[in-house]
Amino acid sequence: MIPVTKTFLPPLEEYNKYLQIAWDRAWITNRGELVKKLETLLQNKLHTNYIIITNNGTIPIQIALKTLSIKGEVVTTPFSYVATTSSIVWENLKPVFVDIDPSHLTIDETLIENAITEKTTAILATHVFGNPCNIPIINSIAKKYSLKVIYDAAHAFGVTFNNKSIFNYGDVSTCSFHATKLFHTGEGGALFCSNKKLYDKLFYHHNFGHDGPEKFHGLGINAKISELQAAMGLAVLPYIDDIIAKRKEIIDFYTQNLHKKDLQFIKIRKDTNWNYAYFPVIFSNESLLLHIVQKLNEKNIFPRRYFFPSLNNLPYIKNKQKMPISESISKRVLCLPLYNDLNTKDLTLICNIINDNLT
């Protein structure tokens, strides 16, 4: 079977080496040595400011909304994983969708101002497929209207924009270290910010509000990552540059071998060092996509419809807004298999099936 993605697993003995440290201390959670070590290594590798690693990539979005005291309406993208929207609704806030830019697939920055009302307090946008939003424009809109900016950077591990880690942009950026993501800890994620005061608040919030064992700074939740998860991250991290290089090769193969004229590829934003996290292709219509998915499935190849449906059509969204571009692209976009040991024979097969059915 060829799945859309396959989790990179480090040599088991390397994972065991880190587990041994936890075993020796009989310390498997509550910020042990492995969690602190992984935070430091990530901070140094990615050149980020403040980092808190967490138990998944969804709670950081909720913590960011809470910590920044976001109220009322949040301007957001309809083209993302459901966690972006569900986090807003979970925090009793109203998502106000803004359609996407059809070539980059990120929120269309030229439409944001139209969506702002007196109730708007934040912009929550996704660097979808690791492709940065138009950060400079979003930044200036946020300044003009005094809005907070949160970036769901779940896909953006290792990406730089204007020679700076993508995680250093916005008031808060979040990442996911889920097993299907580029860098992973099985389940996991992170919060990033550039301000010490904000970091302290985020930190309290992610650990029940504890300020020492018997004192509480305020309200909090449990977003702590365990030593077992950090051990996985420590074992995966030494391979990440090779993983990214391998994915680049695979994407280069796809772009050279697929019939470009019948497919649209994502446009990566200028001044970006991309991470090759996903390979989405956009077909001219949904029935062609469904036909090709069926042909691939017949050969045991399972691409995924990331992201479908467009999030403005989720069942719990009231007063549905129309998002013509996001809805149209959601119906036509397919992420092709992309993982470390996907070989040329399988890649050739995938390209042939797609090309044969395009014409």
Q: Measured between alpha carbons, how far is residue 313 from residues 72, 115, 289, 308, 323 in Å?
A: 20, 18, 20, 10, 9
Report DSSP letters for 129-183, one per residue. GGPPP-HHHHHHHHHHHT-EEEEE-TT-TT-EETTEEGGGSSSEEEEE--TTSSS
- Residues 141 to 160 in contact with ligand PLP, rule: CB under 6 A: 152, 154-155
Q: Measured between alpha carbons, how far is residue 116 from residues 85, 108, 277, 328 in Å?
A: 17, 13, 31, 24
- Residues 31 to 50 in contact with ligand PLP, rule: CB under 6 A: none
Find the shortest distance in angstroms from Cβ 176 to ligand PLP.
Answer: 3
CA gap 173, 182 in Å, rounded: 17
Find the shortest distance in angstroms from Cβ 123 to ligand PLP.
Answer: 15
Q: Is 83 in the site for ligand PLP (CB under 6 A)?
A: yes
CA gap 267, 280 in Å, rounded: 10
Q: Are strands 172-176 and 148-152 parallel, antiparallel or unpaired?
A: parallel
Find the shortest distance in angstroms from Cβ 101 to ligand PLP.
Answer: 16
Q: Is 178 in the site for ligand PLP (CB under 6 A)?
A: yes
Find the shortest distance in angstroms from Cβ 248 to ligand PLP.
Answer: 20
Q: Is 165 in the site for ligand PLP (CB under 6 A)?
A: no
Q: Which of 178, 171, 222, 219 is nearest to 197 (CA)?
A: 171
Q: Is 206 in the site for ligand PLP (CB under 6 A)?
A: no
Residue nearest to ligand PLP (CB): 57
Stretch of residues binding ligand PLP (CB under 6 A), selected from 44-52, 56-64, 254-262, 320-328? 56-64
> How does 278-287 read in b/e, with b if 16+ C-beta sit within 10 Å?
bbbbbbeeee
Q: Is 80 in the site for ligand PLP (CB under 6 A)?
A: yes
Q: Is 310 in the site for ligand PLP (CB under 6 A)?
A: no
Find the shortest distance in angstroms from Cβ 234 to ligand PLP.
Answer: 18
Given the complex with ligand PLP, which of 106 and 126 has the nearer CB atom? 126
Question: Half-sphere exposure (CA, 13 Å, Cβ side) for 151?
Answer: 29
Find the shortest distance in angstroms from Cβ 82 to ligand PLP.
Answer: 8
Over the window 106 to 135, marking each residue x when it contacts ligand PLP by CB under 6 A and - when it does not, the resulting string is --------------------x---------
**What count of other Cβ atoms lies within 10 Å of the Cβ of residue 239?**
17
Given the complex with ligand PLP, which of 189 and 280 has the nearer CB atom? 189
Q: Is 78 in the site for ligand PLP (CB under 6 A)?
A: no
Helix (H, G, I), strand (E, B) or coil at 264: strand
**DSSP-assigned beta bridge partners for residue 53:** 190
Find the shortest distance in angstroms from Cβ 78 to ligand PLP.
Answer: 12
Residue keyed to tokens 């695979």: 250
Binding site for ligand PLP (CB under 6 A): 56-58, 80-81, 83-84, 126, 152, 154-155, 176, 178, 189
